[in-house]
Amino acid sequence: MNIVEKIDKLRKEKRWTKSMLATQAGITPNTVYNWYNDKKATPTRESIENVCAALGVSVISMYADVEAGDLTAEELELLEAFRKVPDKKKGVAIATLKAMCE
């Protein structure tokens, strides 16, 4: 499920229209409509943060296939930190963690 599909699922659970989602998230309705109508349009990180706040879900749960409730606080902290690591350094971060497990 892609990010727009996840947003759509959560929006429908709240029985919100796309316009209501936009209002609650503090973004323009056109922005939301573009996510649905233009397959190349994807929400910006800021828009995702606003949508998550409006929907009452964590940003991590929007990106992950697991619900944030399935992760411990330490796992969430680790995931948030990892996502901030530059792509070029992610391999080093993974190798370091694996080495710590040996």
As a three-state string, the secondary structure of the chain is: CCHHHHHHHHHHHCCCCHHHHHHHHCCCHHHHHHHHHCCCCCCCHHHHHHHHHHHCCCHHHHHCCCCHHHCCHHHHHHHHHHHHCCHHHHHHHHHHHHHHCC
pLDDT tens, position by position, 11-60: 999 999 999 999 999 999 999 999 989 877 788 889 999 999 999 988 88
What's the pLDDT tens digit per position in 52-64?
A: 999 998 888 787 7
